[in-house]
């Protein structure tokens, strides 16, 4: 028994001792196919020699220098690369240590933008229900996942939530995609008017929703409308691409597929691919300009920001992705994964929806396909699927049951970008067995 504290005091997780490519091996010698990249993190798989070589080289030159004194070549090169590949209007990158911190920094930058411009009244943050933006207090406040927020609510700043754009659950029968997109985006306009436009600071959303709802893509021109509404009211658009970004959906940034650019964007998981903890906030020129012509200082210094080891790992990961044209593989293998999921679950009585983009795909479990009724959260179907899948040698990322009451359980797949056809076939075969075994346990 270790004294290391795990999130769950009831769980004793297996100990991972080695990893290579798509496989993680535990201390009992069992292999697991990493079909979810942990939490959509391991985009290059495990033990990539080029990333390891880059880490060695960085450690040999300089492992750490505090940003209060120095910058480093690795951090500068990563910042430049992020900006060169960023959506239009983005001019600067701020390196932090992970996703939650990126969201915190983005919220603070939004507020500082307002105050530097003399718009002291802008303070309301609007986000969407069934969203997750991180576990620190600011990011948790922005998120709209009641299960994660409930016990901390007295400590959270006041935020406001509108409906997500979630076709399977919210689009009405006979409602066109265009009408649904307009209705869902219209909730933002209504909320801004209700709060008073001059009091609203920012709207935060994930282009493709990850952890809370399971690879939910937007519909039609939803995000174009969101962009227009934000612009009309001087509200900043923060896109959280911590999970869906850095190539996961088949383009470097998920928002490229929506044809919009954010004012602020957060990236993390796939940025460093798990080789080092790292995240970044990408800032539009207008935010940078307001700060640089104003106080000239952003009050968000963390000891490990811009860490050279983390920057070197992220640079290497991003260079390999570009060199090996892995985004093309994400698109091709994403299509294959979708096809295999449809084959295995398309007429499954307890799979209501199969959705996602690129190598970011999910199935949503339902007790009844017709009514879309979810399983009783007390049955913890998602946790059972995870446990049985591990027995089958498969890592998947299931969530649900307790989301906003009783939405359906879902299983998220986010394999590394190096995945091949045969791997996908094996992943879906094992998942199909795990799903049926888990359903058998609660039948």
Closest distance of CB 410 from ligand PMP, Å: 14
Residue nearest to ligand PMP (CB): 99
Q: Is 134 in the site for ligand PMP (CB under 6 A)?
A: yes
- How far CA 355 is from CA of 40, 168, 280, 342, in Å, comes to 16, 9, 27, 10
Q: Is 271 in the site for ligand PMP (CB under 6 A)?
A: no
DSSP state of 46: B
Q: Is 100 in the site for ligand PMP (CB under 6 A)?
A: yes
Closest distance of CB 143 from ligand PMP, Å: 8
**Contact with ligand PMP (CB under 6 A): which of 37, 210, 400, 408?**
210
Q: Where are the beta strands (DSSP E) in 296-422?
A: 351-357, 360-365, 394-395, 397-399, 410-413
Task: Give dist(CA 358, CA 335) in Å, integer.
Answer: 7
Closest distance of CB 121 from ligand PMP, Å: 27
Which neighbouring-strand residues pair with 16?
26
Q: Which residues contact 291 (CB under 8 A, 6 or more apart)?
A: 109, 112, 113, 116, 297, 298
**Contact with ligand PMP (CB under 6 A): which of 98, 272, 374, 408?**
98
Q: Is 104 in the site for ligand PMP (CB under 6 A)?
A: no
- How far CA 237 is from CA of 156, 200, 210, 233, 302, in Å, comes to 21, 11, 18, 11, 24
Closest distance of CB 108 from ligand PMP, Å: 15
Q: Is 99 in the site for ligand PMP (CB under 6 A)?
A: yes
Q: Is 144 in the site for ligand PMP (CB under 6 A)?
A: no
Q: Is 281 in the site for ligand PMP (CB under 6 A)?
A: no
For ligand PMP, the closer CB: 134 or 415: 134
For ligand PMP, the closer CB: 189 or 361: 361
Closest distance of CB 98 from ligand PMP, Å: 4
Task: Give dist(CA 168, CA 364) in Å, integer.
Answer: 9
For ligand PMP, the closer CB: 291 or 414: 414
For ligand PMP, the closer CB: 242 or 312: 242
CB 237 within 8 A of CB 227: yes
What's the first-to-final CA gap in the chain, in angstroms? 34
Spatial CA neighbour of 400 closest among 388, 412, 413, 415: 412
Q: Is 243 in the site for ligand PMP (CB under 6 A)?
A: yes
Segment interacting with ligand PMP (CB under 6 A) among 97-105, 184-192, 223-231, 286-294: 97-105
Segment interacting with ligand PMP (CB under 6 A) among 23-31, 96-104, 166-174, 343-351: 96-104
Exposed, middle or buried, 404 (CB in 10 Å: 0-12/13-18/19+)? Answer: middle
Q: Is the dihedral of CA 393, 397, 402, 408 positive or negative?
A: negative
For ligand PMP, the closer CB: 133 or 355: 133
**What is the C-alpha radius of gyration for the chain, rounded to an integer number of angstroms?**
21
Q: Is 268 in the site for ligand PMP (CB under 6 A)?
A: yes
Closest distance of CB 27 from ligand PMP, Å: 25
- How far CA 105 is from CA of 101, 118, 158, 302, in Å, comes to 6, 20, 17, 10
**Contact with ligand PMP (CB under 6 A): which of 34, 206, 263, 423?**
206
Q: Over the range 258-297, which residues count as b (16 or more CB within 10 Å of their CB) and which as e? A: bebbbbbbbbbbbbbbbbbbbbbbbbbeebbebbeeeeee
Which residues in the 34-63 window bind ligand PMP by CB under 6 A? 39
Closest distance of CB 244 from ligand PMP, Å: 7
For ligand PMP, the closer CB: 201 or 243: 243
Segment interacting with ligand PMP (CB under 6 A) among 183-191, 224-232, 240-248, 316-324: 240-248
Both tokens of 435, joined, read 């799903």
Q: Is 103 in the site for ligand PMP (CB under 6 A)?
A: yes
Q: Is 132 in the site for ligand PMP (CB under 6 A)?
A: yes
Q: Is the dihedral of CA 124, 129, 133, 134 positive or negative?
A: positive
Task: Give dist(CA 86, CA 102) in Å, integer.
Answer: 16
**Residues near ligand PMP (CB under 6 A):** 39, 98-100, 103, 132-134, 206, 210-211, 240, 242-243, 268
């Amino acid at each position: 028994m270790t004294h290391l504290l795990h999130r769950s005091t009831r769980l004793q997780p297996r100990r991972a001792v080695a990893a290579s490519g798509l496989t993680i091996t535990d201390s009992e010698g069992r292999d697991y196919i990493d079909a979810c990249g942990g939490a959509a993190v391991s985009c290059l798989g495990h033990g990539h020699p080029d990333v390891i070589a880059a880490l060695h080289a960085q450690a040999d030159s300089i492992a750490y220098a505090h940003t209060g004194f120095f910058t480093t070549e690795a951090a500068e090169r990563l910042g430049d690369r992020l900006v060169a590949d960023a959506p239009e209007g983005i001019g600067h990158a701020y390196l932090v240590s992970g996703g939650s911190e990126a969201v915190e920094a983005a919220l603070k930058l939004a507020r500082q933008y307002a105050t530097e411009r003399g718009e002291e009244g802008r303070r309301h943050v609007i986000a969407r229900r069934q969203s997750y933006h991180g576990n620190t207090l600011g990011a948790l406040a922005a998120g709209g996942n009641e299960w994660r927020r409930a016990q901390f609510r007295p400590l959270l700043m006041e935020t406001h939530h509108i409906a997500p754009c979630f076709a399977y659950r919210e689009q009405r029968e006979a409602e066109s995609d265009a009408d649904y997109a307009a209705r869902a985006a219209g909730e933002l306009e209504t909320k801004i008017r209700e709060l008073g436009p001059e009091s609203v600071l920012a709207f935060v959303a994930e282009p493709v929703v990850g952890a809370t709802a399971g690879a939910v893509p937007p519909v039609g021109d939803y995000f174009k409308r969101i962009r227009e509404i934000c612009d009309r009211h001087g509200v900043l658009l923060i896109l959280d691409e911590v999970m869906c970004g850095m190539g996961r959906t088949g383009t470097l940034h998920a928002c490229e597929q929506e044809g919009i650019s954010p004012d602020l964007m957060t990236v993390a998981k796939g940025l460093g691919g798990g080789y080092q903890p790292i995240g970044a906030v990408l800032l539009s020129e207008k935010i940078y300009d307001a700060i640089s012509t104003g106080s000239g200082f952003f009050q968000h210094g963390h000891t490990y920001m811009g860490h050279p080891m983390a920057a070197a790992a992220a640079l290497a990961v991003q260079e390999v992705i570009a060199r090996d044209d892995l985004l093309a593989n994400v698109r091709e293998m994403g299509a294959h994964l979708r096809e295999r999921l449809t084959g295995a679950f398309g007429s499954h009585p307890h799979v209501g929806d199969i959705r996602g983009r690129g190598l970011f795909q999910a199935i949503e479990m339902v007790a009844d396909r017709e009514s879309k009724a979810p399983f009783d959260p007390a049955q913890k179907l998602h946790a059972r699927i995870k446990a049985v899948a591990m027995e089958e040698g498969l890592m998947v990322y299931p969530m649900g049951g307790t989301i906003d009451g009783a939405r359906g359980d879902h299983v998220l797949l986010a394999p590394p970008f190096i995945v091949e056809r045969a791997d996908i076939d094996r992943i879906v075969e094992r998942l199909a067995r795990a799903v049926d075994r888990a359903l058998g346990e609660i039948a």
